[in-house]
Amino acid sequence: MSVELREISKRFGEVQALAAVSLSVAAGELFTLLGPSGCGKTTLLRTVAGFHRQDAGVVSIGGREVDEVPPHRRDVGLVFQSYALFPHLSVAENVAFGLEERRVARAEIGPRVERALAAVRLEDLGERRPDQLSGGQRQRVGIARALVIEPAVLLMDEPLSNLDAKLRVETRSEIRALQQAAGRTTLYVTHDQEEALAISDRLAVFEAGRVQQVGAPNEVYRRPANAFVAGFVGRMNFLPAARAPELAGAAHQLGLRPEDLSLHPADGQLSAPKLAARVRARVFLGPVLQVRLDCGEGLELEVEVHRPEPSAWREGEEVQVELAPERAHRFAADGSRVEPPE
Ligand SMILES: Nc1ncnc2c1ncn2[C@@H]1O[C@H](COP(=O)(O)OP(=O)(O)OP(=O)(O)O)[C@@H](O)[C@H]1O
Ligand SMILES: [Mg+2]
């Protein structure tokens, strides 16, 4: 089922948590709300769930306006950031709880709980109590609890935030696979840009209650709409236009990603636009070498060298960094993206 948000605003006292947010999520889509802490992600999710009423704007689910519909009749399932399981109930009883609350027939509950536990690969652990599970398993119970009610729309608020880095990556692939198999419309909240790129069909980048950009992961990464998005999604070096006027045109600021810069020896002949720099620090990470450059006048750049020579680019070495004009992002003084002249 599609989810349509039209001009949603919500204020808490002095804080404008949401400012005229409009988004259209297609049926079956995994759509992510991405942004820094406090930008309004949870507020928006709770508005869709019906836990609080927006000051202005309209929420529609499956083409029906739901503003007067209470949470339990909106056909949404919510996975909370803290999984909030009942400690004294078994895993299976935790999962069954939402069905009992909705007065689903007894005979139906058992099979549905089994299906939901199988979906998150916990079919053998139904009898355990939550304190007998790992963090990742508990998180999966939280997901099963939302899946079991077979909601038209699944809402997930930072569902991986309590997991360690490795489990986070594994569990996010599982969530994606489950979502794809069921074709369930999912609104997914995270402040982790890598997670958002990895899991989403499309994402919306938020700052301070406002949508900054909506697009597929590759669109947002390759063509950030403004300097905020450019700096928040992936890493970006920002250069004042005066440091590379041949690239900047009328722009105020340039953005170049670490993988789009390349290093050359200080004495090499380079016709491309370049800056003189000194290597400040190098971090060898196996497939890539991260090199931090001091370009003078307070400008530092980060360069990523792929498949590095072991001895390449020593600390203190004088180098030239090549600036590829076709890879540069250009921003106006107000941060908005500027396209280069043809
Ligand atoms: N019940 C409330 N009363 C007052 N202010 C609130 C309330 N709920 C949220 N806020 C404020 O609204 C803003 C948005 O909060 P929200 O929880 O939506 O952020 P978030 O993007 O989910 O952040 P995080 O990534 O830290 O979870 C914040 O400034 C927050 O302090
Ligand atoms: Mg939140």
* pLDDT tens track for 249-301: 889 999 999 999 999 999 988 888 999 999 999 999 888 999 999 999 999 99
Regarding the beta carbon of 185 and ligand 1, being less than 6 Å apart is answered: no
22: helix, coil or strand? strand
Regarding the beta carbon of 41 and ligand 1, being less than 6 Å apart is answered: yes
For the CA of 18, the nearest ligand: 1
What's the chain's length in residues?
342
Residue with the smallest CA separation from ligand 1 atom 12 is 17
38: helix, coil or strand? coil
Fold of 237-338: OB fold (Dihydrolipoamide Acetyltransferase, E2P) (2.40.50)
For the CA of 40, the nearest ligand: 1
Regarding the beta carbon of 43 and ligand 1, being less than 6 Å apart is answered: yes
Closest ligand 1 atom, residue 45 Cα: 18
Structure tokens at 201: 């069909």
- Tell me, what amino acid is at 151? P
Terminal-to-terminal C-alpha distance of the chain: 42
Residue with the smallest CA separation from ligand 1 atom 6 is 12
Structure tokens at 120: 């998150």
Q: Where are the domains of the chain?
A: 3-232, 237-338
Give the residue among 79, 249, 271 at the shortest CA–CA distance from 157.
Answer: 79
Q: Ligand 1, from 11, 39, 192, 205: best to mutate by most atoms within 8 Å of Cβ? A: 39
Angle at CA of residue 29, ends 235 and 227, nearest 5°: 25
Structure tokens at 288: 């890539």
Residue with the smallest CA separation from ligand 1 atom 27 is 37
Which DSSP string do the residues of 260-324 spell out, in sequence order?
GEEEEETTS---S-EEEEEEEEEEE-SSEEEEEEE-STT-EEEEEEES--TT-S-TT-EEEEEE-
Distance CA 78, CA 44 (A): 13
Regarding the beta carbon of 190 and ligand 1, being less than 6 Å apart is answered: no
Which DSSP string do the residues of 116-146 spell out, in sequence order?
HHHHTT-GGGTTS-GGGS-HHHHHHHHHHHH
Residue with the smallest CA separation from ligand 1 atom 11 is 17
pTM of the prediction?
A: 0.90
186: helix, coil or strand? strand
The radius of gyration computed from the CA coordinates of the chain, to the nearest angstrom, equals 24
Regarding the beta carbon of 17 and ligand 1, being less than 6 Å apart is answered: yes
**What is the per-residue pLDDT for 236?**
97
Taking the centre of ligand 1 as the mean of its atom positions, its distance from the CA of residue 230, in whole angstroms, is 23
Residue with the smallest CA separation from ligand 1 atom 22 is 42
**What is the per-residue pLDDT for 342?**
63
Closest ligand 1 atom, residue 43 Cα: 18
Fold of 3-232: Rossmann fold (3.40.50)
Regarding the beta carbon of 191 and ligand 1, being less than 6 Å apart is answered: yes
312-330: pLDDT as tens digits:
899 999 999 999 999 999 9
Regarding the beta carbon of 42 and ligand 1, being less than 6 Å apart is answered: yes
Mean pLDDT, the chain, rounded, equals: 92
- Residue 231 vs residues 125, 223, 258, 282, 321: alpha-carbon distances, Å: 43, 12, 12, 21, 20
Q: Is the pLDDT of residue 82 over 80?
A: no
133-147: pLDDT as tens digits:
988 888 889 989 988
Distance CA 36, CA 19 (A): 16
